[in-house]
Structures are given as C-alpha cells and as structure tokens.
Copies of this chain bind each other. A is one copy, B any other.
Amino acid sequence: MGHGPYPSIGAGGGVNPQVQQWFRAVDKDQSGFITANELRAALINAQGQSFSETACNLMIGMFDKDRSGHINVEEFEKLYTYVNQWLAVFKTYDTDQSGNIEEKELAEALTKMGFRFTPDFVNFLMKRCDSGKVSVDSFIVLCVQIQRFTEAFRTRDTQQNGTVTIGFEDFLTVALSCSI
C-alpha cells in the first residue's frame, strides 16, 4: 500500500508531507537532522528576513532535549507549527508591514496568544528590545522563551492556581534550561 507521493520512512510517517518537504529542503547535508545554522539559512530564504543566531539557537533548543544541537523531522514539525502561528500573529499586528510592532500591538498580540499580562510586564518586555519596537526576530525569541518558561511553570503549577513553590536548585534548572 502506498502513502501518496511522499515515502513514509519509519516514525516520520505521521509528519505532514509539506513539512517533510520543507525539512528536506532545510536539511542541506541530508543528515536527517536540522541544525541552528541550517534553520537560519532556510529562514532567510523563505521569509526574506534574517533571523539572529540567538533566535535560531533558541528555536532548535526548544526541542533539542538531549542538547545534540539538532532536531529531527518530528521535532521540526512542532517547531514549524509554533513559528507559523507566531508569525501569523505578528503579521496581523504589523499592519504597515514594516517588520516591527509597537508596545500596544505587542500587548494585543500576547492577549491573542492567550496570555494575560499586566501593562507593567509588557513594558518590561519592550525594554528588552533595543529600539522601542519589536522586530519579527525579537518577537520569535520572546515567544520561544515565553513558551519554554510557560511549559516549565505549568508542569510545576500542580494546583493550576498560577503560583508555584520551587526550590533553589529546581529554580536554577528551569532558568538555565530555558536560557542560552
């Protein structure tokens, strides 16, 4: 029995064919894995924008649990889904297509993504950006970091009340795992 035009290889069978195609295009050395550098080259080509090394390292790091420096096609599919969602939100608010959004738009974008942050917190996020605006690159970095910390927080928020009680070593582990 065939699986259509795309071969189903092992565990890769469940991956969306379009994502598999993208993966093969990004995986320049055909190793079966994508590194931060391969991702960076691909994102420049596909979006017409340059992503920083930091952004690409963080993106790979989201799924690279064993710190091998690369991700496989299943992990890539998850990353692809996240990044496309984030880019879609960003584009909604970047109405003049300048590649930047402002504080008010960042607040709206985060709300749309399901977060309820205080204005002070959004202002704190803005101050982390250099220019008083949020570039698409910084937006992705921010989303990756928020995503990773949110996951780590949720795991520990056993009563789902928005607070966690955490020991020093565990705190350090979370913080270090999600930073560079």
Q: Which residues does A use to contact B, with CB under 8 Å? A: 54, 67, 117-118, 121, 124-125, 127-128, 145-146, 149-150, 153, 157, 162-169, 171-176, 178-180
Contact = CB atoms under 8 A, between A and B. Distances in A.
Number of this chain's copies in the complex: 2
A164 B164 CA distance: 8
A127 B67 CA distance: 7
Give the interface SS of chain A, mostly helix, strand, loop or mixed.
helix
Nearest to A169: B121
Contacts of A157: 168
Interface centre among A118, A164, A165, A172 (most CB of B within 10 A): A172
A145 B179 contact: yes
Contacts of A117: 169
B67 A169 contact: no
A162 B168 contact: yes
Given A124-B176, A146-B172, A175-B178, 9 more contacts: A117-B169, A121-B169, A125-B176, A149-B171, A162-B168, A163-B166, A163-B167, A178-B179, A179-B179
A157 B117 CA distance: 23
Contacts of A149: 171-172, 175-176
Contact of A54 (B125, B166, B172, B180): B180
